[in-house]
């Protein structure tokens, strides 16, 4: 093994490591692995390549092996020690708990036993209580008694530190103890806590359920935006939205009253962090006639906050764009009482995958806006981006309130969504063919008139 002060080796090591890390981030673990192994060989006292190798596999035994190698390379590296400790406990079948400095669960998370047995019963008559959007507390449907929920604004403690050793995801506690049903049609899984009945899939409206006996490790939600409106208000919002628009048929406002409307909490991941991206280029400090090209380089930073990634596969991105924004500063620390009587869909996009899409989104944004960020007034050429560093990555598992509905108009099916926090409506609106034709006609006629006018005037 050549000594590490050899500058050629240093350079090769850096290149291999950067390429390997890039491939991991892009989700291409097969490309990443040989690069990282090579990097580890070139610099035997650095734990970094081994740490990244542990992120290239889901197999705990393999992860353990990589982390052992990381430990051998650098026994003082705290990330390695934490990763190993968490992984050993996970492999021993115990719940992964916080390490203080590492992945910290919310301080007010209730103990496991109490949570699993919690039933929301009226203290006065023993009837079932459900969460009431108008009063933001639990309401007994039988005697009308209100019971307060001690809501906490989600402090920073709800933010989970995102280590790149992703297998250290915090284990399940509350979520797994609930009744979870899978929709036979769309595959979405829904938590039905005590006090609600499983009628239709909140996501697609199907009636067929499959019980899921498979237990999979599932995170508890960290934060939630509780529903702010009842069904009647959501319908009213849809009615107003349907009535808008120049090409809307006149006979559709009644649809809001008859459409099939379903509430549910939808799973989202949010990410915070900082991206540092290196860049280099050549700048002309001479002039056009006698150019003098000098190299320039530097680092751009992007701080991102509450970057929202859907936790459901096939969740239509357009829907999110249309009903956005949510006031994410109003999130509360999750408590099961908010779900009393309201179904919640569970995530089927893993944290690691969501984190990759978040990183991809931020990287794309920075690349796209790189030139204006550099603020170089002279001519430049050969602009390149290089190494990327992520720091302070934290994530939250967030539940957002949505109403979704479907209605039929003249034999066609339409879907509509309502933001359960703000009442903003998004979806497809039927169009009146006659009105569309009339507008097209008017526009064409105006264009023809303008053309005719221009023609006469220029003659
Ligand atoms: Zn009661
Ligand atoms: Zn479904």
Task: Supply the range of the domain harboring residue 24.
Answer: 7-91
Nearest ligand, CA 314: 2
Residue 156 has pLDDT above 60, yes or no: no
CATH code where residue 16 lies: 1.25.40.10
CA of 150 to the centre of ligand 1 (A): 19
Q: Render pLDDT for 296-355 as a digit per residue (tens, 0 to 9).
A: 999 999 999 989 999 998 888 888 899 999 999 889 988 888 988 888 998 989 888 898
CA of 194 to the centre of ligand 1 (A): 15
| Residue 366 to residue 304: CA distance in whole angstroms | 11
Q: Is residue 114 part of a domain?
A: no
159's CB contacts (< 8 A; 6+ apart) are 222, 272, 394, 395, 396
Nearest ligand, CA 123: 1
What is the pTM assigned to this prediction? Answer: 0.66
CA of 128 to the centre of ligand 1 (A): 7
Element (H, E) at 77: none
| Residue 198 to residue 365: CA distance in whole angstroms | 42
Q: Residues 346, 245: one domain? A: yes
CA of 182 to the centre of ligand 2 (A): 8
Nearest ligand, CA 205: 2
Q: Is residue 190 part of a domain?
A: yes
Query: Per mean pLDDT, which of 162-166, 183-187, 281-285 is the most reliable?
Result: 281-285
Which residues pair with residue 180 across a beta bridge? Answer: 191
Nearest ligand, CA 184: 2
| Residue 308 to residue 317: CA distance in whole angstroms | 11
Nearest ligand, CA 129: 1
User: With left for phi above 0 and alpha for psi between -120 and 50, is residue 382 left, alpha or beta?
Assistant: left
% residues pLDDT > 90 (the chain): 26
Q: Which residues surround ligand 1, an ion (CB under 5 A)?
A: 122, 124-125, 127, 140, 142-143, 145
CA of 235 to the centre of ligand 2 (A): 21
Q: Residues 418, 294: one domain? A: yes
Q: Residues 255, 393: one domain? A: yes
Q: Is residue 127 part of a domain?
A: no
Compute φ and ψ for 240, nearest 5 degrees. -65, -40
Q: Is residue 143 part of a domain?
A: no
Q: Is residue 340 part of a domain?
A: yes
SS3 state at 440:
helix
Instruction: State the pLDDT confidence band at 11, using cuts at 50, 70 and 90.
Output: confident
Distances (CA, A) of 294 to 218, 279, 291, 379: 54, 14, 10, 11
At 147, list the tokens: 């019971």
Q: Residues 272, 413: one domain? A: yes
CA of 393 to the centre of ligand 2 (A): 33
| Residue 16 to residue 24: CA distance in whole angstroms | 12
């Amino acid at each position: 093994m050549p000594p590490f002060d050899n500058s050629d080796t240093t350079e090769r090591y850096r290149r291999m490591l950067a390429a390997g890390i890039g491939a991991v981030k892009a989700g291409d673990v097969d490309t990443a692995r040989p690069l990282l192994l090579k990097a580890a060989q070139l610099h035997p006292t650095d734990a970094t390549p081994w740490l990244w190798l542990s992120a290239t596999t889901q197999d705990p035994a393999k992860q353990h092996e990589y982390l052992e190698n990381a430990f051998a390379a650098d026994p003082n590296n705290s990330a390695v020690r934490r990763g190993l400790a968490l992984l050993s406990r996970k492999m021993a079948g115990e719940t992964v708990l916080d390490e203080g400095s590492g992945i910290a669960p919310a301080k007010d998370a209730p103990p496991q036993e109490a949570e699993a047995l919690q039933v929301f019963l009226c203290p006065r008559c023993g009837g079932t209580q459900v969460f009431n959007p108008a009063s933001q507390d639990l309401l007994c449907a039988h005697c009308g008694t209100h019971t307060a929920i001690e809501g906490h604004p989600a402090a920073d403690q709800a933010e989970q530190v995102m280590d790149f050793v992703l297998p250290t995801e915090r284990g399940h506690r509350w979520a797994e103890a609930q009744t979870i049903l899978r929709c036979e049609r769309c595959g979405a899984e829904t938590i039905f806590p005590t006090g609600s009945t499983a009628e239709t899939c909140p996501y697609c409206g199907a009636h067929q359920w499959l019980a899921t006996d498979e237990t999979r490790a599932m995170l508890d939600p960290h934060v939630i935006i509780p529903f702010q409106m009842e069904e009647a208000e959501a319908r009213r919002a849809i009615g107003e939205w349907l009535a808008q628009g120049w090409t809307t048929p006149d006979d559709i406002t009644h649809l809001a009253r008859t459409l099939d409307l379903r509430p549910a909490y939808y799973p989202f991941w949010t990410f915070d962090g900082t991206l540092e991206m290196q860049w280099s280029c050549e700048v002309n400090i001479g002039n056009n006639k006698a150019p003098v090209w000098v190299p320039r380089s530097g680092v751009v930073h992007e701080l991102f906050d509450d970057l929202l990634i859907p936790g459901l596969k096939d969740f239509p991105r357009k829907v999110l764009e249309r009903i956005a924004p949510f006031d994410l500063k109003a999130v509360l620390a999750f408590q099961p009482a908010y779900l009393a009587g309201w179904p919640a869909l569970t995530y089927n996009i893993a944290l690691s995958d969501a984190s990759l899409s978040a990183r991809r989104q931020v990287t794309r944004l920075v690349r796209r806006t790189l030139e204006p960020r550099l603020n170089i007034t002279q001519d430049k050429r050969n602009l390149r981006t290089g190494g990327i560093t992520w720091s302070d990555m934290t994530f939250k598992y967030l539940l957002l309130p949505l109403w979704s509905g479907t209605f039929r108009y003249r034999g066609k099916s339409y879907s509509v969504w309502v933001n359960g926090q703000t009442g903003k409506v998004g979806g497809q609106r039927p169009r009146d063919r006659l009105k569309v034709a009339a507008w097209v006609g008017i526009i064409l006629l105006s264009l023809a008139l303008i053309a005719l006018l221009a023609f006469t005037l220029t003659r």
